[in-house]
Amino acid sequence: MNCLCSCTCLSQQNSREFWVRTEFLRRTGTGGSGGATSATCSGADAAEIARVSGWLTTTTSGLPNYAYNNIKKNFSTTAAFDKLVCAIVMSCQNFAPSLTNWQMYCEAVISSAIVSESSYDPNSVVTDTYATRTVSGTTANDPTVGLLQDRFSSTVHDYNYSGSVAKMASIGCAWPAALTAQTDDQTFWATQGGTTYLGLMQDPACNIGLATWYYFINATGNGGSTATYVTQYCQSKGTAGTMVIGLLSHLQGPGFTRPADASNSYVTGIKSRFVTLIGGTLPSPDPFTETLPPEPTKFCK
């Protein structure tokens, strides 16, 4: 809700936030100011759950109308909606930069980015030309998938070999045991994303967790004049970056054209919704250009 600092407007906003939080606690049978929510979102702060729930249900919060319509359609049950909210909150709890306000900033970035990537359709599958490239004489089946359009050969691959399975589990994503034992075979990773592991990437908890990790591992480490890849980052070779760098790395890959273009429409669209979600005023320093230092212990095994 966007308000011009009037007592009436602030009262309305506080009442809405109280209702959202109360309704969440009523449905899940939990209480307290933090640390405990529902069995499906263990470890999340109830205030963060209430904040994100409000953004996704109050149609004046800052998302376009079609996004709210799709949320109602695709997350129509309490369990499905709670899983969506939990995935956003817990992904940011695990992967947001360890700087002031970044839990909220991360939640706003992700809530906005889902609009750009899938319009809140968890089953979205996009088969671009790269998805059907030839790999070792075989046609790939490697689409971008789900709420944040993850690709199996990049985001899932990188997390499998460098990310924490325990952190993914805390978000609600059960990481397949077969993947943890999988050799790094190029053909396998090029062909299984559109078949065997499509469901993994369409699961909101897995999809949001993976993409949040990917956005922020790049935002905190891919700020050099040349690309820093995940393996290098986990060897403590990352260079501080920005949220703009994280977004462009997701959109174009870590080797995006330097210098990072903050005027890219993907970035500006997310930023516009971000500002509205957090109250209508861009903070200082600007979260999209604030320097975000590497944190390999947060992102790597």
pLDDT at 23 over 50: no
21/252 Cα distance (integer angstroms): 37
Phi-psi region of 17 (alpha: psi -120 to 50; beta: other; left: phi over 0): alpha
In a 3-state reduction of DSSP, which class is residue 135?
strand
240/296 Cα distance (integer angstroms): 11
Instruction: Name the one residue in this structure whose structure tokens are 């691959």.
Output: 157
Cis before 204 (ω within 30): no
Q: Which residues contact 34 (CB under 8 A, 6 or more apart)?
A: 45, 46, 47
Q: What is the mean predicted confidence (pLDDT) over 29-56?
A: 69
Instruction: Name the one residue in this structure whose structure tokens are 């405990």.
Output: 36
pLDDT, tens digit, for every residue of 102-126? Answer: 999 999 999 999 999 999 999 999 9
Q: Is 253 exposed, middle or buried (0-12, 13-18, 19+ CB in 10 A)?
A: middle
Residue at 174: amino acid letter: A
pLDDT at 242 over 50: yes
**Model pTM score:** 0.88
Across-strand partners of 145? 125, 150
Mean pLDDT in the chain?
89
pLDDT, tens digit, for every residue of 152-185? Answer: 999 999 999 999 999 999 999 999 999 999 999 9
